[in-house]
Amino acid sequence: MDLTELDHVGIAVRDLDAVVGWYKRMFGAEVVHRERIESDGVDEALIKVAGSYIQLLQPYTDSSPLAKHLDKRGEGLHHVGYRVESCAAVLESVKAKGAQVVDEHPRTGSRGTTVAFLHPKGAFGTLIELVEE
Ligand code: CO
């Protein structure tokens, strides 16, 4: 099995601070990490849940792919991040088995992780992120 943990669920939102406030009010949740991910055009807030995260994502520019996603689909679940030991090895493995990928090569994600995305079209509607810590 190449997936070792559920790393995070990525949730697309329009107002990051409002959503962070809602999670705090509803669940007492605290943000453990915030980051502007320039390669994706998004601002991120991470809430830790045991060994996994809720990744709240708001686009800060209209050219962000996430801005287009919000226009088309609205707010809500955007992707699932699975932890792997080697992003490069798993990416090569799924490509060899015919998976449709968004990233041909691993790239840097938030928290200094190494990530790559599989396209939802080839994965039964789920955008899948491979995350190597
Ligand atoms: Co993610």
Domain 3-132, second-level architecture: Roll (3.10)
Q: How far is the CA of 9 from the centre of ligand 1 (A)?
A: 7
Q: Which two tokens stand for residue 100?
A: 């449709």
pLDDT of residue 77: 97
Extents of the domains making up the chain: 3-132
Report the alpha-carbon distance of residue 59 to residue 100 in Å, rounded: 24
Q: How far is the CA of 79 from the centre of ligand 1 (A)?
A: 7
**From first to last of its 133 residues, what are the pLDDT tens digits of the chain?**
999 999 999 999 999 999 999 999 999 999 999 999 998 999 999 999 999 999 999 999 999 999 999 999 999 999 999 999 999 999 999 999 999 999 999 999 999 999 999 999 999 999 999 999 9
Q: How far is the CA of 81 from the centre of ligand 1 (A)?
A: 5
Tell me the sheet residues that pair with 5: 83
What is the CA 60 to chain-centroid distance, rounded? 16
Token match 């520019």: residue? 61
